[in-house]
Structure 1
Amino acid sequence: MEIVSEFTSSTHDDQILESDGDSLISNPTLQHLEDDIVHGRDDDLEIIVKRLTGQLSDLDIVTISGMGGIGKTTLARKTHDHLKLRYHFDIRVWITISQEYGRRNVLLEALHCISKHTNIDDDNELADLVQKSLKGPRYLVVVDDIWSTDVWDSIRGIFPDYNNRSRILLTTRETKVAMYANPISPHEMNLLNLENSWNLLCDKVFGPNDCHPPELEEIGKKIAEKCQGLPLAISVIAGHLSKVSRTLGSWMDVARTLGEIISNHPDKCLGVLGLSYHHLPNHLKPCFLSMGGFPEDYQVEAWRLIKLWIAEGFIRRPGMAEDYLEDLISRNLIMVRKKRFNGEIKACGMHDLLREFCLTEVELTKFMYVETTNIVSTVSAQKHFSFQKKRGYSAIDHCNLLPSNARSIYLFPDFLFRVNLEAFSHFKLLKVLAVFHGYKGFLSFPLVITKLFHLRYLQVRCIGNLPASIAELQNLQTLIYGREYGYTTLPEKIWMMKNLRCIHMGEASYLPSPGRRMPNVEELSNLSFTSCTNEIFSNIPNVKRLIIQNTPLLTTLDRANRLIDMSSLTKLEALKCVTYCFWSGRKLISIKQSFPISLKKLTLAGWFSFPWKDMSTLVMLPNLEELKLKDHAADGNVWRLSDEDKFQSLKFLFFRDINLGHWEGSSNNFPILKRLVLKECKHLKEIPINFGEICSLESIELHNCSTLAEKSARKIEQEQEDMGNNCLKVYINI
């Protein structure tokens, strides 16, 4: 017996809007569109079907997550209608939850579809009757477009588990909801690649059996690429292309005005994506809207973004900043562009379509003024400003156009030498001034900046040193400064800035002897070796992340071979030491027995001449999870690890351009290693063969290494496969 029941709660126009991208509600007239939009989803479909028909007898919950418009509902519909599932399940039920959820409506519609009894007033009786109707037969319930864990908790108990291989398929825009429903093997949908994007665009414009004109292929692929793999965007643009002439000129016009075309279809596109924004709690909305302050395709480092949010006052407590970012990523509103090996977010950005919505919303709410063209509009109501225009007249050229109560100003390239920052003196309440330029800076530090007493975040690049008057910025939390030429000497009065938490210098910087403690400093980048003294370290005791850098100008013979004592840095978690100074073959720094036991990440790059036999120093670090050795950091050709040498917490080991030829070790030396990466290791003859016995090892990656090293990696992989271990993967790039 086969019963197919489809019911919806809160039938809403939003679901119909998504028929061009994320949702294709069952409708015979839309069937061909549904087939089109599945381009590139065969693997996804196979994975979901296999999971739903698996041998697990218990009720299994399979989740599909991804950003709005990516095709979650379409994939779920194709799964629901799959021929194999028609015969596998006795009952198939489809529920669309939407943002307006009513449990009683769900129960009534369910009962209406699978039972004749509908005149029941008590919700508990309704739930009981639905459960009894599902008792016995093997069922598949698709719960589409669920937005919160509370809703899941409310409906989860409706569906009984009779150990008969019944299944629930859940789709959601929010990764945390998917993980909450079932943290095991969640299926996250990815954006389409260029090939599938182009195929989808062709089928939507020309039909599946209609060949496209060859002269339109190049420009067509550029249009598809600009949609950045989002089926919803491709569908909207394809609809527009279907109405214009099939000429090269017309398609070039579409490529040039793609963002404008999408903005002109708010119901079909931006409105769908807007659902995710409007579902945000109020405290996350300004964080999302602030992303409109960055140019198209801009990748912003996670640490920098968090510092900006804190300075802007968007974060209630500094310790919650990472949670805010992860929440927006979980909701698929911000995209991770780069990750660290351990999954930490390194850089993030925004899909162009979401950025279009964001720019529309910041203009509507007057949250931020974003100038990307030569058009100057009224800016009296906004407090946040971003100037991204490449050249020509701009509002920033005439600061009197900006209100005196401005809170933040972002400047991007081409403004640097034209902007008269002296006019900034009337921005008495400014909290953020960020000049995101490349290699050019101001001729000298604009002293007017030191009068902005409320400034919390300052990012600027100049040719000279910082003035002593920088200390007047007593509220400054983040200082990002780049000197155009040579190293930077910081003023002595910087020790008077009690609220500084992050000091990020572009080049090696000399820090003079302290006049007082800076207990709030947690990040210090590009401190010179000559400044690494007990006196300085003891006055920044709470530093968690430290980068030490050397340059020839800061190297003296009397400094060579000295020991850096870091014993006072008891909270240090991440340390990077960089030196590309080679002084007649002598070591420039001794690091033996100098690291705090709190250290989790260590990078050594350059001419340290660190002997392999002294690696026992690093073995003694109980919390070390990540070790990187780059560019001749180690001295010698042989590394022999004894049975006592055990990196008990190390998960990531990275070598680049290391003069290592012979490596002796065993799986016992790296008991929880997850990832081994070797780059430019052209002298290495073999990776220790029993590394395959490391149970936690997930991957070995080789980039431009010796042929012998590559063969040993393949041998390790093959031995593990022969033993039935398919978890270890070897990647070789030449």
Structure 2
Amino acid sequence: MAVAAYALLVSLTHVLDDVHYRAQLRRLHVDIKRIESLQEGVNFLLEFLEVNHRSKSKKVGNLWRQISEVSLEVEEIFDFHVVSQLQKDSQEESSDMGAGSFNEDLDTMIQKINNIKSELSTVEEVVEDIPVGKQTRASVPAGGTSTAVSSVGKNAIVGLEEHVIKIKGELARYDGNLQIIPIVGMGGIGKTTLAKKVYEDKYAVDRFDVRIWITISQEYSVNEILQGLINDGKVERHCGNSDGPGEVLRKKLYGRRYLIVMDDIWTVQAWDDLRRFFPDNGNGSRIIVTTRLSQVADSLGSHDPYPMIFLDPNTSWSLFCQTVFAEEDCPHQELEQSGRKIVKNCRGLPLQIAVIGGLLAKSGMTTEYWESVAENVSAFGNASDGEHCLNILLLSYNNLPIYLKPCFLYMRSFREDAKIDVSYLIRVWVDQGFITIKEDKSLEELAKEYVNDLLDRNLLFVRDRDLGTEEILSCGIHDLLRDLCISESKKENFLCTPREQEIRPQSEERVCFLCSVSVTETRNFLALDVIPPSAWHCNPPVCGHCKVTYSHIKGLRFVKVMDKDGVAHDSLVQHTKLCYVSVSMHNPPKFISPSTLHLLWNLQSLIFKESEMVVLPSEIWELPQLRVIECKCVVFPKPPHAHVKEKDCFVLRNLQHLTWARNFELTGEILNGVPNLKELQIKYDKRMRESDTCLCNLARLQKLETLSVKNTLQNIGFPNSLKLLALMRCRIPWSGMSMVGSLPNLEFLGLFNTAEGSEWNPAEGEFLRLRLLAIVGSDLVHWGADQDHYPVLENLLLLNLPSLEEIPSGVGDIATLHKIVLRNCSKSAVDSACLILEEQRSVGNDILEIDVSDNSDYEVEDFDEDEDED
């Protein structure tokens, strides 16, 4: 319950922040001091949870439950009163009358939180005495033989032969200094099995005078580990002297060649606590460390981490057969089809293959049973022996800081083997309210750090990276870990408010208005409506899954925001707690005038996936929580006229992402209304292309990091904060690139049918931080450049440059350059690239790669759309 309580409290901090902001601007009638009192109470509970969330006390568990219930109740009260006041304001009715009841409800909530605080103070002393985890035991193999390794399958070494050879090579490598060899990978990937195989290999037995195996868990005692090592190492005769156990061990190892395996390290501190007892004898001693955490592996220093990856299909099948039959292949032809299906569903994770194989080895070899296992590998893998598999992975979950646990548990919402877009994942974590507010970083920056943290812990894995920027584009979660998310969510009672909705075109098929799945029932979900019953024929339908998932929700206020030709449809109904709305409609939706969009007061992401053009209503300026507006083409309105005292009322202080804004008029009032914009994509049609659209004013957006401009002939003002710039059909002469090159933070530059002229001679002192340069479509013939012009360039992409005579040879001397991609370029340019590669190979540069093709299948967005669009 601690994770559920924590997630709901963090979400509540965002609601309180928004209400406080609106109240300060006098857009809500509520006592600010009461809001601040609530904020103080919520922050206290958050701090208490962060310190004591591992407590297993039944009394504390009941308090976590109370916190969850109160958090949901507070959010419901805010939604009721805020929507009521906003609705009255839009109908030009006085909302002052509702302030009294609003304040009374807040008093009740403040008292409930104070009661919880009082109860927490009575158990605080007990909570502090509760152990946060099992004490780590040192397990040292007697007589130098390891007994402290995974018990899953004695034959589970298939697919490790190549790894064993590589690690043995590191043991034998001529380097007298003590070397630390980290093996890193997710739980169950085979790290311990590989280390065991190397540890017990005859070469290691013969080469090393002393071999010691240490298993270290999350909570460990240095003295306990050291004493266990000394005793099992048969050095008891030294234990009676005045030296401590660490010094005894150090003396034992001094002058001898030793191999130590430190299995399952969780922190750099664990290594630091023990490393001083391992002397560097200059004789080729080695320490192998296994860890799930890439950050820990990177910190060990003396050796690049050795990564463990998923098994390929053939190796997975071999491992499966070894585990089930102790043979290289399946001896029962009738079982092979279902067996291969089982292996495929294990997704290459050795531990799960071994667990499922162990179950099948003990079962009857019947086709029916194997087919039933194949239908639900996860269910069988989580039973009996399979519990061992999940328990190992559970260590990774339990080791997470509490702020990461809601994000990890949310991964259950993705389907098995899903390819998860990282930008979407970041957005949805923010919209769900999982990310804590910090003054020095945006929510998106923090969410990105959370993604990287889960990747470092091998709880997620990378699927795709951007070829140019190396940014992670998509990730995945192994099915076994997804099962863990599901089981832990149930234990935690990890409840969520429905905050996402995908709106699709109305059809004869009824779909759930929350998840868009087809439904056959038409029963009402909840009774409380903002829309009068006469406005549409019935409440929107909800599928059975959502009714169960959100059964704890007592009421939702529905609002009709978008409508085509004034006709209401179920598919165009939202509820006021929504944070993420995605609209999938070919015909551009029309907003009712005046719009009720502002009643979606929690809205943070507004996405139009298929609409060619959307004209937003002026009420968009009344959504200070809004962070993302995304569309193929969106007409952004001017802010409503406001008096001087109300100038801050129409500021989208959280808006960070706006695409593609059509004919965006960069006037002072608009730019002042989006002060924290970080990503902007704008384009102009032929009516606006040569008009005064004030693009020079872009320099005022001092937090803008990503800018894409399409179809303009104007001079553009670039803010110094830019990191990524894409210019498309902007008709800038090569001589004008000096203005771009002078941007101090620019790392990625894309010129798409933009630069004009046959010659480019960049000046020194430009593009000092540029990592990627893409030139797509140009009449460039002569390019005068060398390593001084792009000193940190990593990737060079040249596409559709038929006139370019050559790539300057000096470009090859850029020390950081590792890839040049050419598509549809002249033969002489390709020849020059090959010559650069040849020259670099001759001086020992094995990093640089050349990728050449005559086709245009390289993944670049098609920016050559019709210039005459209107």
TM-score range, shorter chain: 0.7 to 0.9
Give the secondary structure class of the aligned counterpart of 1:608: coil
Residue number among 719, 726, 731 corresponding to 1:603 in the alignment: 726
| Aligned pairs (5 A) from 1:445-524 | 446=572, 448-449=574-575, 452=576, 455-461=578-584, 463-467=588-592, 468-476=595-603, 478-482=604-608, 484-500=610-626, 502-515=627-640, 516-524=650-658
Q: Which residue of 2 aligns with 1:334?
A: 460
Aligned pairs for 1:173-192 (under 5 A) are 173-182=292-301, 185-192=304-311
Q: What are the superposed Cα offsets for residues 244-294 of structure 1, whole Å, 9 maximum, x if unpaired?
A: 777877655443322322233532322221121122222322221111122
Specify whether residues 447 and 56 from structure 1 end up closer, same or farther in structure 2 by C-alpha distance, changes over 3 A only: same
Cα distance in 1, alignment partners of residues 555 and 427 from structure 2 = 18
Structure 2 match to 1:348: 475
Residue equivalent to 2:120: none
Aligned partner of 1:694 in structure 2 is 814
Structure 1 residues 40-79: aligned runs within 5 Å: 41-79=160-198
Change (3 A) 1:719 1:278: same
- Report what 1:154 is aligned to: 273
What is the CA–CA distance in structure 1 between the aligned matches of 2:208 and 2:829, rounded to whole Å?
Answer: 51
CA contact (8 A) 2:497 2:553 kept: no
**Is residue 712 of structure 2 the alignment partner of residue 589 of structure 1?**
yes
SS of equivalent residue, structure 2 residue 299:
helix
Distance in 2 between residues matched to 1:684 and 1:183, nearest whole Å: 45
The one-letter amino acid paired with 1:480 is L
1:700 is paired with a residue of what secondary structure?
Answer: strand
Paired AA for residue 838 in structure 2: Q
Residue 461 (structure 2) pairs with residue 365 (structure 1): no
Q: Which amino acid aligns with 2:611?
A: Y
**Higher RCO (C-alpha 8 Å, min separation 6):** 2
Aligned runs of 1:147-546 on 2, under 5 Å? 147-182=266-301, 185-210=304-329, 220-242=339-361, 252-265=371-384, 266-318=386-438, 319=441, 320-340=446-466, 341-368=468-495, 391=518, 399-400=525-526, 419=542, 446=572, 448-449=574-575, 452=576, 455-461=578-584, 463-467=588-592, 468-476=595-603, 478-482=604-608, 484-500=610-626, 502-515=627-640, 516-546=650-680
- How far is 1:653 from its partner? 1.8
Closer/same/farther in 2, CA of residues 168 and 530 from structure 1, 3 Å limit? same
Q: 1:83 to 1:725 in 2, by over 3 A?
A: farther
Q: Give the drift of 1:155.
A: 1.7
Q: Once the 2 structures are TM-superposed, how far is the Cα of residue 81 of structure 1 from its aligned partner?
A: 2.8
Q: 1:484 to 1:62 in 2, by over 3 A?
A: closer
Looking at secondary structure, tell me which structure has more strand per residue.
Answer: 1
Counterpart-to-counterpart distance in 2, 1:28 and 1:447 = 55
1:626 alignment partner in structure 2? 748
Tell me how far 1:214 sits from its aligned partner.
7.1
Moved more, 69-78 or 207-216: 207-216
Aligned AA (1:547)? Q
Contact 1:68 1:273 in 2 (8 A): yes
Aligned equivalent of 1:727, options 847, 851, 858: 847
Is 1:443–1:464's contact at 8 Å kept on the other side of the alignment? no
- Residue in 2 that maps onto 1:672: 792
Q: Distance in 2 between matches of 1:517 and 1:328?
A: 35
Q: Partner of 2:10 in structure 1?
A: none
> What secondary structure sits across from 1:282 in the alignment?
coil
Instruction: Give the root-mean-square deviation of aligned CA atoms.
Output: 4.1
Q: Can you list the C-alpha shifts for 1:4-40, whole angstroms capped at 9, x where unaligned? A: xxxx96279xx9xxxxxxx995699965x0432xx1x
**What is the TM-score normalised by the length of structure 1?**
0.79
CA contact (8 A) 2:792 2:816 kept: yes
Residue 407 of structure 1 corresponds to none
How much does 1:134 deviate? 0.6
Q: Distance in 2 between matches of 1:301 and 1:280?
A: 22
Asked if the contact 2:689/2:712 (under 8 Å) is kept, the reply is no
Q: What SS does structure 1 have at the residue aligned with 2:450?
A: helix
Instruction: Provide the C-alpha distance between the structure 2 equivalents of 1:431 and 1:573, rounded to a whole number of angstroms.
Output: 37
Q: Do the aligned partners of 1:592 and 1:614 also contact (CA within 8 Å) in 2?
A: no
Q: Match for residue 649 of structure 1?
A: 769
Shift of residue 73, structure 1, vs aligned partner? 0.6
1:570 pairs with 2:702: yes
1:66, CA displacement in angstroms?
0.7
Tell me which amino acid in the other structure corresponds to 2:720.
I
**Contact in 1 for aligned 2:513/2:542 (Cα 8 Å):** no
Tell me if structure 1 keeps the 8 A contact 2:463–2:474: yes
Task: After TM superposition, give the deviation of residue 67 of structure 1 in Å.
Answer: 0.4
Per-residue deviation, residues 435-462 of structure 1 (Å, max 9, x unmatched): xxxxxxx95874553xx2x554444446
How far the C-alpha of 1:681 sits from its partner, in A, is 5.4
Number of positions where the alignment pairs a residue of Structure 1 with one of Structure 2:
658
Instruction: Supply the distance in 2 between the matched residues of 1:112 and 1:425 (Cα, whole angstroms).
Output: 57
Change (3 A) 1:657 1:205: farther
Cα distance change of structure 1 residues 495 and 170 upon mapping to structure 2, 3 Å threshold: same
CA separation of 1:558 and 1:528: change in aligned 2, threshold 3 A: closer
> Cα 1:485–1:135, aligned 2, differ >3 Å: closer, same or farther?
closer
Structure 1 Cα separation of the partners of residues 319 and 360 of structure 2 = 13
Task: Tell me whether 1:615 sits opposite 2:737 in the alignment.
Answer: yes
Change (3 A) 1:419 1:211: closer
Q: CA deviation at 1:56?
A: 3.7
Gaps of 5+ in 2: 1-134, 499-511, 529-538, 560-567, 641-649, 856-870
- State the Cα distance separating 1:400 from its structure 2 match: 4.7
State TM-score, norm by structure 2.
0.67
Distance verdict in 2 for CA 1:68–1:387, change over 3 Å: farther
* More displaced stretch, 555-564 vs 64-73: 555-564
1:520–1:542 CA contact under 8 A, matched in 2: yes
1:209-256 CA distances to partner (integer Å, 9 max, x unpaired)? 446667876665544332222111222333345467778776554433
Shift in Å at residue 368 of structure 1?
4.1
Distance in 1 (CA, whole Å) between partners of 2:261 and 2:556 is 51
Amino acid corresponding to residue 506 of structure 1 in structure 2: C
Mark the CA change 1:305 to 1:687 in structure 2 (over 3 Å): closer, same or farther: same
